[in-house]
Amino acid sequence: MSNRFSLWFLPLLFVTLCSPALAADTFRIATYNVENYLDQPTESRPRPKSTAARAKIRESIRALNPDVLALEEMGGLSAFMELRTTLKTEGLDFPYWEWVSGEDTNIHVAVLSKFPIVARRPHTNEMFLLDGRRFRVSRGFAELSIRAAPDFTFTLVAAHLKSRRPVPEANEAEQRLQEAKILRGIVNRDFAAHPNVKLIVLGDFNDVKDSDSTKEIIGRGRFKLVDTRPAERNGDNAPAENAWFEPRDITWTHYYGKEDTYSRIDYILLSPAMAHAWDKHNTYVLTIPNWGVASDHRPIVATFDER
């Protein structure tokens, strides 16, 4: 074994040995905003992703070892293929993939999958009216049917909503709410077609749980989505002090340098039928040293049992 191979293999071996063993009938679904994963500059995003940042992203993905991975802020198709190919050389093969091209030609929503994608319904031209102007959902939505096992197929909808950065065209929160309404419309159509649909809605929603846009996606009543709320696996397990609040474990997924704030804006939401297969104990926010070299987001993962 060469020294070069050993240096690559040892971190992966460490992660494998230290990760809880999962049964053969379980699988992992993750989402990760990889912050401007570009292989060439664009007019609005002038810096390609550095070699160090790409390596740290791959380290994070290998640590998660997901079976399906949704990516936000992925660059062009060539950058996406470079990531997929390099992961394969490092032992993580995703034979199936989706890359959605919306109005924003700089960054995209994409999906990598070890499982067959049996249907694709990309939403790339959704429109809404705001203050008398017509807008297009900038990144679109990826909607896929994925077969995890011969008798277990689920629907995955991946999204990246409007950021919280102000723009001159309209109020950013109102834009995000309108995009959320369109996303919820897709969810409602899935429920209308199959009330017991196994559905996962995930990605970067760019707002906190109590925001109008996130509440719109989650919904209410019979078809309210279940928030998996991944948290750090750091030993925190005390119950919530207040019945109205969540436990005081650490769930933030995004660091905003301008305000020096940490918030949870990345989500994995489930339909009631999909929640029956959800393994809460193997659902978490990834914590690794120097996570911020890779992205201003941390990835999250949820585990499911197909039995």
CATH number at residue 177: 3.60.10.10
Res 307: pLDDT: 78
Encode pLDDT of 122-174 as tens digits: 999 999 999 999 999 999 999 999 999 999 999 999 999 999 888 888 999 99
pLDDT at 21 over 70: no
In a domain? residue 94: yes
In a domain? residue 237: no
Instruction: Give the residue-averaged pLDDT of 28-37.
Output: 98
β-sheet bridge partners, residue 199: 155
The pLDDT confidence band at residue 235, using thresholds 50, 70 and 90, is very high
Res 294: pLDDT: 98
In a domain? residue 19: no
C-alpha torsion angle, residues 84, 71, 299, 207 (rounded to 10): 170
In a domain? residue 36: yes
pLDDT at 306 over 90: no
Is the distance from CB of 68 to CB of 113 less than 8 angstroms? yes
pLDDT at 286 over 60: yes
pLDDT at 2 over 70: no
pTM of the model: 0.91
CB atoms within 10 A of CB 281: 8
Residue type present at position 189: R
In a domain? residue 21: no
Residue 204 is part of which domain span?
27-232+249-305
Res 23: pLDDT: 63
Res 13: pLDDT: 41
pLDDT at 121 over 90: yes
pLDDT at 38 over 60: yes
Number of domains in the chain: 1
Is the distance from CB of 288 to CB of 249 less than 8 angstroms? no
Instruction: Give the residue-averaged pLDDT of 31-52.
Output: 93
Res 22: pLDDT: 60
What is the DSSP code string of 106-139? Answer: S-EEEEEESS-EEEE--B---EEEETTEEEE-SS
In a domain? residue 12: no
Distance CA 176, CA 118 (A): 30
pLDDT at 8 over 90: no
In a domain? residue 9: no
In a domain? residue 240: no
